[in-house]
């Protein structure tokens, strides 16, 4: 019996480790959450019944142990050096020239990857098990944070396979993703708890909690970016080879890491990442460029505290301090009244920022914000800048009173009407207006909601009308080229357009008579409107602007119902069956289509010729319709999540395991069991180059 218990414990731990790696490391789960939970519950039950058989590397031990009295000091066997920083192409070229000078003009290839704005750590594995985790500290001495790091799901407590060296150190970055940071703060605000200032501070603070249970509750992740040292004879030859081995052992590596063959390709990579910076799932402050050959790294060596073989290319900072000059209240398409801070202009994230969102009045209260305060402003990519904290007197930056000699204006809240903003008063207090700044209707705050709203219907409030039309025309909705906000303002203010259906009734002559239009612009707009009549059901649902229905939810609704009529007639209970649609969202969708005015608008749009193919017809026409594909290994050109979406866009179903029904397997570097299973079953396999050719041939790359 005892042997059976141990065998089951070993099997459960093996299965859970495997599924942890698939979910947290490869973003390719093979089982549902309920199945995973059942495995974990069985493990916990067996360990409770046999506490003497609990091991340190058991998945159950991630929950965190007893609070620590303090962090012990750790001396790094090999120093964790800082990197030289460059910020221009000329500085990068100068560094490249110095490398060539020391190597005698040898050819140089580089490994590039995003420099995640997180916390650098070192992990030591002994015989495949996590033995120690330490902060970088001063580079020579860090702090022992093993108990906290053990709680992070993407850090394996035990490595996969038995090919890893008996003892080695791996280095990486622990961070909080943008999505997880947003979700954590939303939960904290709802519970009236302290929020995190920004992802990097949140990660650093989480790792330095004396109570590991607090760390376990934080959404931390880790990417490994290099080997520190290795005991034994094995050595990789290149940085990319090292990353591939780390991935094969179950350590999470960044799919954006790329090998480039010369400095020109390196510069192209820097420009590509800069362009996609805002779309990356994590914050970055630059790109790390490393000489790929480890032998060349050894010969280049280090100077003082910096290696000569690597450099950090830094992008413009995304945080800066400035002062709040005033607050205006803007009205959104759903009537939401949003306070927006008017700032003393400051350069942050590559642009000059003079406005920052404050979300709602609860956020103003949480920040303790008043007119004239010095604040920390954050901007990430294309995200609207936001105030993350108030810098109090004595914490850096002088304070000043509204209307004093430093230039902050004395402003009367509510003094402006119509489309002008209601502003904070001269006492520094920020008060919610009692009337809508756009239409004068009473402002209400529905029970249980953090957001105050204009009580008028969208057709009665010009601000809601403008925002709704802008949303309808946006790229992810009906994609009406040329219908920008200025033109929407003109159409609403002249009374030419009250609802989206009115757009399709516009007259060329009247359009051409508008300021800055003319015959050609009017003709182009009418052509764009005509083209928008042919769309997809998902785009149309999203364009309607139903509260809580974003692009992903609209796609799920379209896939589930197939056409508009079943969706319009669905009950809240029927809507809850749709993936990612809970009771609150279901109630809002049902209420939208239950409103006679909304239903009349939908009918008008259809009568004006807006149409779409049914989901069945669209999928049947796709090149990979009916096929099941599997992704395995690490793709170098794009994240696997992006590859998955491209396959779905071509009609394929993307599965997590290989079977006799699999049509095709795409295998990248470090492909493992799935590749072996495909070869065993005779399933066709293509490499990444062939996969990219397929995407190009179908115009999705």
How far, in Å, CA of 556 to CA of 570, rounded?
Answer: 14
**Residue 357 forms beta bridges with which residues?**
340, 386
How far from chain centre, in Å, is Cα 605? 34
**Within 21-86, where are the H helices?**
33-49
Sole residue written with tokens 């209420």: 591
Q: Which of 85, 115, 258, 431 is catalytic?
A: 115
DSSP state of 24: I
Rounded to an integer, what distance in angstroms lies between the CA atom of residue 280 and that of residue 113?
A: 12
Contact 134, 142 (CB under 8 A): yes
> Distances in Å between the alpha carbon of 653 and those of 274, 281, 613, 661, 687?
32, 24, 20, 11, 19
Residue with tokens 């009665």: 460
Evaluate whether 692 touches 635 at the Cβ level (below 8 Å).
no
Residue 379: Cβ within 10 Å count: 22
Based on the number of CB atoms within 10 Å of its own CB, is 545 exposed (0-12), middle (13-18) or buried (19 or more)? buried
Q: Is 115 a catalytic residue?
A: yes
Token pair 């696997």 is found at 640
Measured between alpha carbons, how far is 562 from 303 in angstroms, rounded to an integer? 63
Containing 340, the helix (H) or strand (E) segment is: strand 337-348
Whole-angstrom CA distances from 632 to 18, 268, 385, 495, 695 are: 14, 27, 38, 56, 17
CB of 404 closer than 8 Å to CB of 375: no
Tokens of 624: 């990979």
Q: Is 264 helix (H, G, I), strand (E, B) or coil?
A: helix
**For residue 148, which of 129, 174, 176, 178 has the smallest C-alpha distance?**
174
Rounded to whole angstroms, what are the CA distances from 663 to 427, 647, 648, 670, 694? 68, 12, 14, 21, 14
Closest CA to 622 of 586, 650, 584, 594: 650
Within 13 Å of residue 267, how many CA atoms lie on the same side as its CB? 13
What sign has the CA pseudo-torsion 333, 337, 342, 343?
negative
Residues classed as catalytic: 115
């Amino acid at each position: 019996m005892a042997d059976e218990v141990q065998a089951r414990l070993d099997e459960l731990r093996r299965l859970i480790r495997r599924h942890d790696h698939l979910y947290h490391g490869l973003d390719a789960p093979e089982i549902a959450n309920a199945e995973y939970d059942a495995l974990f519950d069985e493990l916990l039950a067996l360990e409770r019944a046999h506490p003497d058989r609990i091991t340190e590397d058991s998945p159950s031990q991630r929950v965190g142990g007893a609070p620590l009295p303090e962090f012990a000091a750790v001396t790094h066997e090999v120093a964790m050096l800082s990197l030289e920083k460059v910020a221009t192409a000329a500085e990068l070229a100068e560094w490249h020239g110095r490398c060539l000078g020391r190597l005698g003009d040898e050819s140089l290839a580089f490994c590039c990857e995003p420099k995640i704005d997180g916390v650098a750590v070192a992990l030591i594995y002994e015989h495949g098990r996590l033995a120690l985790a330490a902060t970088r500290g001063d580079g020579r001495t860090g702090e022992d944070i093993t108990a906290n790091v053990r709680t992070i799901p993407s850090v394996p407590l035990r490595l996969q396979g038995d090919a890893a060296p008996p003892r080695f150190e791996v280095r990486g970055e622990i961070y909080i993703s943008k999505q997880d940071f947003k979700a954590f703060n939303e939960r904290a605000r709802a519970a009236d708890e302290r929020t995190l200032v920004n992802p990097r501070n949140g990660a650093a603070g989480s790792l330095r909690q004396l109570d590991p249970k607090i760390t376990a509750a934080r959404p931390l992740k880790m990417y490994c970016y290099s080997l520190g040292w290795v005991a034994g004879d094995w050595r990789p030859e290149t940085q990319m080879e090292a990353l591939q081995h780390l991935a094969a052992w179950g350590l999470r590596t960044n799919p954006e890491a790329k090998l480039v063959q010369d400095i020109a390709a390196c510069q192209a990579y820097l420009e590509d990442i800069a362009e996609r910076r805002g779309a990356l799932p994590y914050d970055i402050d630059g790109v790390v460029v490393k000489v790929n050959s480890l032998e060349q790294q050894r010969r280049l060596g280090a100077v003082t505290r910096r290696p000569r073989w690597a450099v950090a290319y830094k992008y413009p900072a995304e945080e800066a301090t400035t002062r709040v000059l005033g607050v205006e209240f803007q009205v959104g398409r759903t009537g939401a009244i949003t306070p927006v801070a008017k700032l003393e202009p400051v350069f942050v994230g590559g642009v000059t920022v003079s406005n920052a969102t404050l979300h709602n009045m609860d956020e103003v209260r949480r920040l303790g914000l008043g007119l004239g305060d010095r604040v920390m402003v954050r901007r990430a990519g294309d995200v609207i800048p936001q105030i993350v904290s108030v810098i109090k007197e004595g914490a850096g930056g002088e304070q000043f009173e509204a209307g004093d000699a430093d230039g902050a204006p004395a402003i009367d809240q509510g003094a402006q009407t119509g489309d002008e903003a209601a502003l904070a008063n001269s006492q520094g207090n920020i008060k919610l207006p009692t009337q809508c700044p756009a239409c004068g209707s009473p402002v209400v705050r529905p029970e249980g909601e953090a957001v105050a709203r204009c009580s008028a219907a969208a057709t009665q409030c010009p601000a809601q009308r403008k925002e709704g039309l802008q949303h309808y025309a946006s790229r992810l909705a009906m994609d009406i080229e040329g219908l920008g906000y200025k033109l929407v303002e003109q159409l609403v203010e002249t009374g030419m357009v009250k609802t989206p259906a009115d757009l399709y009734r516009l007259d060329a002559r009247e359009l051409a008579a508008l300021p800055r239009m003319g015959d050609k612009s009017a003709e182009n707009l009418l052509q764009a409107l005509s083209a928008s009549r042919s769309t997809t059901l998902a785009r149309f649902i999203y364009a309607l602007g139903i509260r809580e229905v974003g692009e992903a939810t609209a796609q799920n609704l379209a896939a589930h119902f197939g056409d508009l009529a079943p969706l319009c007639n669905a009950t809240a209970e029927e809507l809850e069956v749709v993936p990612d649609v809970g009771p609150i969202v279901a109630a809002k969708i049902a209420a939208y289509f239950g409103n006679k005015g909304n239903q009349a608008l939908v009918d008008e749009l259809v009568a004006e010729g807006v149409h779409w193919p049914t989901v069945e017809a669209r999928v049947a026409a796709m090149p990979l319709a009916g096929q099941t594909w599997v992704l395995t290994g690490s793709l170098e050109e794009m994240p696997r999540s992006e590859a998955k979406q491209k396959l779905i866009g071509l009609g394929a179903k993307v599965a997590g395991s290989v079977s006799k029904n699999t049509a095709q397997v795409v295998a990248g570097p470090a492909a493992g069991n799935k590749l072996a299973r495909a070869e065993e079953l005779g399933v066709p396999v293509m490499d990444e180059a062939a996969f990219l050719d397929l995407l190009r041939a179908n115009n999705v790359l």
